[in-house]
Amino acid sequence: MAVIEVKNLRKSYGEVKALKGISFDVKQNEIFGLIGPDGAGKSTLIRILNSLILSDEGHVSVMGKDPNKQYQYIRNHIGYMPGRFSLYEDLSVKENLEFFATIFGTTIKKSYNLIKDIYQQIEPFNDRKAGALSGGMKQKLALCSALIHYPKVLFLDEPTTGVDPVSRKEFWQIIKGLHQHNITIIVSTPYMDEADLCDRVALMNDGEILRIDTPQNVASSLGKTLYALETNEGNYKLIKALREYPYMDSVFPFGEKLHYTDQRENDISSELNSYLKDKGFSKISIERIASNTEDVFIRLMNNQKQ
Amino acid sequence: MDSEKIIETTKLTKAFGDFKAVNEISFDVKKGEIFGFLGANGAGKSTAMKMLTGLLSPTSGEATVAGFDVFTQQEKIKKNIGYMSQKFSLYDDLSLLENIKFFGGIYGLSKEQLNERGNTMIERLGLSDVRNKLLKEVPLGWKQKIAFSVATLHQPKIVFLDEPTGGVDPITRRQFWEMIYEAADNGTTVFVTTHYMDEAEYCNRISMMVDGRIAGYGSPKELKSDFNSENMDEVFVKIARGENYKLQ
């Protein structure tokens, strides 16, 4: 059953088209990732779904309700953690939680089972003001507050942006943990590698959805043989040399190596090897590798521009 | 690579009361190097950067940046470095060229220098046709290029980039790194922080801070082999969790 249905959704701010007619659905109990850079339309989409802003055009249904009209039902049954910390800095950890519990007509005790794993990490700081918490703890408090009324659908808007790799991993473990409580989770992120942690993802850029699928299917949908290249010379010179290669299809840095695709379909490792040798490179390593989400995203973005 | 040292620190420390935000860090950055400055949130990176850019006085230790002392020559440091942060502070209502000239002027360039370098820069960026467009009308990738250009217009020996690519799409991110490569190729030293671990691999050497100390220091290849890891993400996690704790 689809918990969220979106058909041909459009939203503009003046002349800026934030969403250009997107369609997708989210199934019960899925972790659904909105993957894309700033300006892709992720936050706009989340705000429309959770009834904070009105759409211009298109059909949207969240738990069978229309966010433009039945927003009270929606607001009572969703949790929302915005990108920017928006709890009360002058209230303590416990006061913040009690405040949100009261608003939703519940208590910390009633929701304890759901928030336990996260809350226990900040409970020792119950009396500390939220403003004095570290970034990681603020995030955990914000998540507890978003869960306090046992929502059916949880929206997390860029929970890991600007967060170091270790804290990011911890946060994703928490998200995975929520899964067992039968909560549908919509999470946005600019980090392409986080796609792999979702059940399904929508790659978004410039107000459009470039692809929707499982992360495995997205990653393997490059449609080109991908090579990883490395030489003794450093990547800057290697990129320049490859750009001059007449059969080059695409080349860009990826970690310590370069990712390269060729216009020809057959295995071109040896031809490429001799070209680079002629250019004075040595210790050339050319390896066929599996593509990942970011490779596919880059390709789709280039197609979108054309 | 030249062996001239653009940054050199010995036991550099900043204490706030009893808390040592930066605890005796020692490292150096060579001329023309791309140096990645990594660490977990709250590890002391920002405090260390503030000392290195002349914004905060250290408590103890020694350090020079571009040949100037971080204790006694902070104003000289500020004039002789470039700085760009994620929230680059350009003016939306000025054109691309006006932004470049404005900031160049602040750094004390003469009118002739501003005209010459401003125009050369705009040409090199391939933005000649749009030089008079307002900043707010151009895509993020261009703004980023302008911000980087502004930070290097006065030809500093070193430019500090504080999470320059946060939230930026994967293509623009890579174009930006090409600018960094080019600058380094021309002898500018680049000091950069990032949370993207694939970008850490683009650096010649990196240091990684944990709890105010430098817990990992070397080239990405060395660190990967030291920590027996496939990639920098793994290295980061291992260092931050205190495995194989390797002090300099």
**Over the stretch B177-218, which tens digit does the pLDDT of each residue have?**
989 988 998 899 999 999 888 899 999 999 999 999 999 999
Identify the three-state secondary structure at position A150. Answer: coil
pLDDT at position A260 is 97
Is A254's Cβ below 8 Å from some Cβ in B? yes
**Which positions ≥6 away from A166 have C-beta within 8 Å?**
B40, B236, B237, B240, B241
Tens digits of per-residue pLDDT, B77-114? Answer: 999 999 998 777 899 999 999 999 999 999 889 999 99
Interchain pair A253, B177: CB under 8 A: yes
Work out whether strand B19-30 and strand A257-262 pair parallel, antiparallel, or are unpaired: unpaired
Q: Which of residues 3-22 of B touch A (CB under 8 A)?
A: none
pLDDT at position B145 is 87
Distance between A260 CA and the closest CA of chain B, angstroms:
14
Please give the structure tokens belonging to residue A165: 């790799």
Please report residues of B whose CB lies closer than 8 A to that of A235.
181, 202
- Both ends of chain B: CA-CA distance in Å? 22
Residue ranges in chain B assigned as alpha helix (H):
45-52, 74-80, 96-106, 111-124, 140-152, 170-185, 197-200, 220-226, 232-240
- Closest residue in B to A240 (Cα) is B178
Contact between residue B50 and residue B130 where contact means Cβ atoms under 8 Å apart: no
Q: Band of the pLDDT at B41, cuts 50, 70, 90?
A: confident
Enter the DSSP assignment of A199. S
* Domain residue spans of chain A: 2-219, 226-290
Interchain pair A255, B231: CB under 8 A: yes
Which residue of B39, B178, B237 is in closest CB contact with A169? Answer: B237
Assess whether pLDDT exceeds 90 at residue A180: no
pLDDT at position B167 is 81
pLDDT at position B248 is 39
Compute the distance between CA of residue A82 and CA of residue A169 in angstroms, rounded to an integer: 19
Best of B169, B219, B229, B243 to mutate (most A CBs within 10 Å, chain A) = B169
Assess whether pLDDT exceeds 60 at residue A89: yes
Contact between residue A91 and residue A133 where contact means Cβ atoms under 8 Å apart: no
Tens digits of per-residue pLDDT, A32-59? Answer: 999 999 899 999 999 999 999 999 999 9
Q: Which residue has the tokens 């705000």?
A: A47
Closest CA to B157 of B183, B136, B131, B118: B183
Please give the structure tokens belonging to residue A209: 């959805």
Tens digits of per-residue pLDDT, B58-83? Answer: 999 999 999 999 999 999 999 999 99
**Which positions ≥6 away from A15 have C-beta within 8 Å?**
none
Compute the distance between CA of residue B162 and CA of residue B173 in angstroms, rounded to an integer: 14
Tens digits of per-residue pLDDT, A233-256? Answer: 888 889 999 999 999 999 999 988
Best of A42, A166, A302 to mutate (most B CBs within 10 Å, chain B) = A166
Is A85's Cβ below 8 Å from some Cβ in B? no
Interchain pair B240, A164: CB under 8 A: yes
Distance between A152 CA and the closest CA of chain B, angstroms:
29
pLDDT at position A166 is 87
What angle, rounded to 10 degrees, do the helices at B140-152 and B170-185 form? Answer: 20
Interchain pair A236, B201: CB under 8 A: no
Best of A236, A238, A289, A298 to mutate (most B CBs within 10 Å, chain B) = A236
Alpha-carbon dihedral angle through residues B91, B97, B103, B105, given to the nearest 10 degrees:
-140
Q: Band of the pLDDT at A70, cuts 50, 70, 90?
A: very high
Q: What is the mean pLDDT of residues B233-243?
A: 87
Distance between B239 CA and the closest CA of chain A, angstroms:
10
Interchain pair A256, B201: CB under 8 A: yes
pLDDT at position A82 is 94
Interchain pair A134, B202: CB under 8 A: no
Query: A83: left (phi > 0), else alpha (psi -120 to 50), else beta?
Result: alpha
pLDDT at position B244 is 52
Interchain pair B181, A235: CB under 8 A: yes
User: How many other CB atoms sit within 10 Å of the CB of residue B221?
Assistant: 11
3-class DSSP string for A259-272: EEEECCCCCCHHHH
Kindly list the structural domains of chain B, giving each domain's residue range(s) and its CATH number in brackets, ordered by start.
5-88+158-240 (3.40.50.300)
Best of A164, A192, A238 to mutate (most B CBs within 10 Å, chain B) = A164
pLDDT at position A216 is 97
Please report residues of B whose CB lies closer than 8 A to that of A136.
41-42
Is B60's Cβ below 8 Å from some Cβ in A? no
- Closest residue in B to A255 (Cα) is B198
- Closest residue in A to B40 (Cα) is A164
Closest CA to A100 of A72, A73, A117, A75: A75
Compute the distance between CA of residue B43 and CA of residue B210 in angstroms, rounded to an integer: 5
Task: For the domain covering A226-290, report its CATH number.
Answer: 3.30.70
Averaged pLDDT of chain A: 94
H or E segment at A135? helix A135-147
Distance between A28 CA and the closest CA of chain B, angstroms:
29
Q: What is the mean pLDDT of residues A176-205?
A: 95
Q: How many helices (H) and strands (E) does chain B have?
A: 9, 10
Best of B171, B201, B203, B222 to mutate (most A CBs within 10 Å, chain A) = B171
Q: Band of the pLDDT at B27, cuts 50, 70, 90?
A: very high
Q: Band of the pLDDT at A84, cuts 50, 70, 90?
A: confident
Closest CA to B149 of B202, B109, B111, B112: B109
Identify the three-state secondary structure at position A52. Answer: coil
Please give the structure tokens belonging to residue A121: 């990490």
Interchain pair A298, B241: CB under 8 A: no
pLDDT at position B243 is 64
Closest CA to A299 of A194, A214, A220: A220
Averaged pLDDT of chain B: 91
Phi, psi (deg, nearest 5) at residue A86? -135, 35
Q: Which CATH architecture has domain A2-219?
A: 3-Layer(aba) Sandwich (3.40)
Please report residues of B whose CB lies closer than 8 A to that of A239.
178
Tens digits of per-residue pLDDT, A106-144? Answer: 999 999 999 999 999 999 999 999 999 888 889 999 999
